[in-house]
């Protein structure tokens, strides 16, 4: 059995940085440690941190009840109001927001203050997009698909600034921008898709074209992993989305000569290696 593992699979720079920051605080043990939302979209990592005493805060209401401790901002980032709450309550703040996401915060805040209507290409329910919206002091819209792009309508003299969720599909982003651009607005388009995400997606598609089965590893709530699955599934009909080796053990791969493996940006390396070894040994 030939197994091809994507070179770009696994932790990206921003995720590794965020996870490292939490473990650094665990090692210091200066008091209660909290993350605002799961630090990354990987249940295995979050469970391990919980065992070490790190508690996940899921809402502003929970945050408001804290009187001491360290609050770590998740890799996906949060809105400005969360920073203010943490500072007002006298809590220690550790910012683990991905630098590429922080860049978007600065862009939308600047462009919004200059009077542009911000459009975020992405999923409105994704925490990264929610955080980006929290840095827009004025008008902001989220567009995820063609229907929403076609239906978008504002005054003809409105100036727009279009950015993207960092993990959005690059082809889809360009397609949605084209639809909006045809409406004749004054557009400022800034492609904020992370270069590592784009490279990961391109490599995954290339591998999927050449194998009999494709395995995509990542958390079920991971946006970038879901998009990897969509991309691979278009190129290879035998594409499987798993979180851990246990999920793969419960499935039966078809008889093929070559299997490809890729993984989302929040997938630990040891899980990728476990899956790789299992496929080689068992099939």
Under DSSP, the state recorded for 145 is S
DSSP letters along 1-46, please? -EEEE-TT-S--HHHHHHHHHHHHHHHH--S-EEEES-SSS-HHHH
Contacts of 258 (CB under 8 A, 6+ apart): 1, 2, 3, 4, 210, 211, 212, 213
Nearest to 169 by CA among 254, 230, 256, 214: 230
Token pair for 186: 């004054």
Our answer to whether residue 128 is catalytic in this structure is yes
Q: Could you tell me if 72 and 22 are in contact, meaning their C-beta atoms sit under 8 angstroms apart?
A: yes
Burial (CB count within 10 angstroms: exposed 0-12, middle 13-18, buried 19+), residue 61: exposed
Question: Measured between alpha carbons, how far is 240 from 113 in angstroms, rounded to an integer?
Answer: 44
Q: Could you tell me if 248 and 240 are in contact, meaning their C-beta atoms sit under 8 angstroms apart?
A: yes
Catalytic residue among 109, 111, 128, 144: 128
Residues in the chain: 283
Q: Which residues are catalytic?
A: 128
């Amino acid at each position: 059995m030939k197994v091809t593992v994507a070179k770009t699979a696994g932790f990206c720079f921003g995720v590794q940085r965020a996870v490292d920051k939490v473990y650094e605080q665990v090692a210091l043990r200066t008091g209660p440690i909290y993350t605002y939302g799961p630090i990354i979209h990987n249940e295995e990592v979050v469970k391990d941190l919980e065992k070490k005493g790190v508690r996940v805060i899921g809402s502003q209401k929970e945050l408001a009840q804290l009187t001491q401790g360290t609050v770590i901002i998740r890799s996906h980032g949060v809105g400005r109001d969360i920073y203010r709450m943490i500072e007002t309550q006298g809590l220690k703040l550790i910012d683990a927001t991905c630098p590429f996401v922080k860049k978007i915060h600065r862009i939308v805040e600047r462009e919004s203050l200059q009077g542009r209507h911000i459009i975020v290409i992405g999923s409105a329910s994704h925490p990264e997009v929610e955080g980006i919206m929290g840095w827009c002091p004025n008008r902001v819209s989220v567009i995820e698909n063609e229907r929403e792009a076609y239906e978008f309508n504002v005054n003809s003299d409105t100036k727009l600034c279009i950015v993207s969720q960092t993990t959005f599909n690059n082809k889809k982003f360009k397609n949605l921008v084209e639809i909006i651009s045809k409406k004749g607005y004054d557009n400022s388009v800034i492609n904020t898709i992370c270069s590592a995400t784009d490279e990961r997606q391109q490599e995954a598609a290339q591998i999927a074209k050449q194998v009999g089965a494709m395995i995509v590893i990542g958390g079920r709530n991971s946006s970038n992993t879901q998009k990897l699955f969509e991309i691979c599934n278009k190129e290879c009909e035998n594409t499987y989305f798993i979180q851990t080796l246990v999920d793969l053990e419960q499935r039966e791969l078809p008889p093929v000569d070559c299997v490809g493996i890729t993984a989302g940006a929040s997938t630990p390396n040891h899980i990728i290696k476990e899956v790789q070894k299992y496929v080689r040994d068992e099939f």
